Amino acid sequence: MKLFIEPVDVWLFRDGRPFDRGSDHLARSIFPPLPTVMQGVIRTHHIELNGGIPAYLAGQLLEVEKAIGKPGGPPPETFRLRGPFVAQRITTAEGAYDVDFYFPLPADAYRDGEAYRRLELGSPETGVITNLEQDLLLWPRPGREPAKEEDSKDSVWLSLGALQEYLLKGELAVGCTKPGNALFVRERRFGIQRDDSRRVTVEKMLYEAEFIRTQQGVGLYAEVEGVEGWPEQGVLGIGGEGHAGRHRSVRAPQIHHSVDPDMRRFKIVFLTPTFFRCGWQADDWEALLGPGVTFKGAAVNRPVMLGGFDQATKKQKPARRYVPAGSVYFFEGKPPFHLQIITQDGADIGFGQFVIGGW
């Protein structure tokens, strides 16, 4: 299934930081949400379409369990998720719905006048003292000074075509990018916990939540394998506080690598967050990418936190740090065209999706 989901109202996708009394009063949002959120949305809606939650928890929906897994357990091997990606709806002349994808600006890009250019791997002209094991560092081109950008994770986004052009040419005109507020904006709202048994508010339980309001025609795209039987369009629950989205089947572009197959210097740009056991990099790149591949450097954005609330124990789950989308890793060797996912956790639900470029 190729699904495009537009919000009915605003959305709330909490990050992995604890949100308990005494720890924090602000519920921050991640957009696009993590693949864990989207797989939960898909699995829950599939249950609702095929008998409902009570029957599922009672073990009465065996076909549903076969498709999405048992209550409290992981999805089966046949369940696969691609995305979620920020997407914009395009209505064709035939009345069909297509979408275009948008991705955050790669972390190796810097603004140089009216263009974004990639940082280069190489020795700087001036002496630098570092304890890094790699002898190649990332620098702007000689004589260039990167322009100061607005310190915002939502500031610059690239369409799929613009991203592929950047990967091929190493630069992209500023006019080919899209500001984040042209796709979505963040809204903060105050709330207070209620005691429904007494119909009163609870003292000292004021909180603030950050919601996502997408622009007209903007939503989320996801591809799902292993579930079927959905209608062409409908409404599903998505995100916190019971908000909803309209889903419909769409046509979507293919994501292609932008590198010569014979090139022996390549970079990987992650399109969704990924997890490595050693933090920001893998413990054994050759085991992941193939023999003869040598890691040369990386441009990594701030990590995203994955945690959440465990309904079974009524406690916060331990938070884990993931490498965010837009992070770039540089290698020498044969590009891993045989791979679709690069991650050490969550490959079946969409973590570690990437595209390859040259350097």
pTM of the shown model: 0.85
For residues 129-142, average pLDDT: 69
- pLDDT confidence of residue 105: 93
β 244-249/109-112 pair status: unpaired
Look at residue 277 in the predicted model and tell me its pLDDT: 87
Q: Give CA separation, 291 vs 284, 334, 352, in Å.
A: 10, 9, 20
The one-letter code for the residue type at 237 is: G
Rounded average pLDDT over 89-112: 83
- For residue 281, the model assigns a pLDDT of 87
Q: What is the mean pLDDT of the chain?
A: 83
Q: Helix count (H) and strand count (E) of the chain?
A: 5, 24
Chain centroid to CA 269 = 12
Compute, in degrees rounded to 10, the torsion defined by CA atoms 260, 80, 309, 320: -30
- Nearest Cα neighbor of 153 from 214, 218, 107 is 107
DSSP H or E run through 202: strand 200-214
Taking CA 320 as the corner, what is the angle to CA 283 and CA 273, rounded to the nearest 5 degrees? 70
Give the mean pLDDT of 169-176.
89
Q: Is the pLDDT of residue 44 over 70?
A: yes
Is the pLDDT at 188 greater than 90? The verdict is no
pLDDT of residue 353: 93
- Using a 10 angstrom Cβ sphere, with 0-12 exposed, 13-18 middle and 19 or more buried, the burial of residue 132 is exposed
- Say if residue 203's pLDDT is above 80: no
Q: What is the mean pLDDT of residues 161-186?
A: 91
Residue 269: which pLDDT band, with cuts at 50, 70 and 90?
very high
As beta bridge partners, residue 355 has 269
C-alpha radius of gyration, the chain, whole number: 22
CB-based contacts of 294, cutoff 8 Å, min separation 6: 285, 331, 332, 333
